[in-house]
Amino acid sequence: MADTYLYFSFGFIAFLAVSFGGLGMLMRSVHRIEKSLDQK
């Protein structure tokens, strides 16, 4: 049982970190490109 919870916790943290980290980076890039196009 302890192992199951450990796997769950690890998978849970990894999934959230990767997916939201990626989404956050994407948002940042979009905002940067918009800014550079506005300045042109």
Partner 1 sequence: MTRMQALEWLLFGMAFVSMLGGFAFVLFGLPPEAGQGYVQKIFFFHVPSAFMMYAGLLLGAGGSAFYLYEKKPVYDCVAEAGMTMATFFATIVIVSGPLWAKPIWGVYWTWDPRLTTTLVLYILLLAYHSIRRIYREPATQSKARAFSAIVAILTLIDAPLIHFSVKLWRGIHPTVLRNPDGLPESYRSALELMIIAFMLTASVIFLMLFRICKLKHRIDSTQIGDRHG
Q: Which positions touch partner 1 (CB under 8 A)?
A: 4-5, 8-9, 12, 15-16, 20, 23-24, 26-27, 30-31, 33-34, 37, 40
One DSSP character per residue, 1-40 reads -HHHHHHHHHHHHHHHHHHHHHHHHHHHHHHHHHHHHHH-
Q: How far is the CB of 31 from partner 1 (least distance, A)?
A: 5
Q: How far is the CB of 14 from partner 1 (least distance, A)?
A: 12
Q: How far is the CB of 8 from partner 1 (least distance, A)?
A: 5
CB atoms within 10 A of CB 13: 10
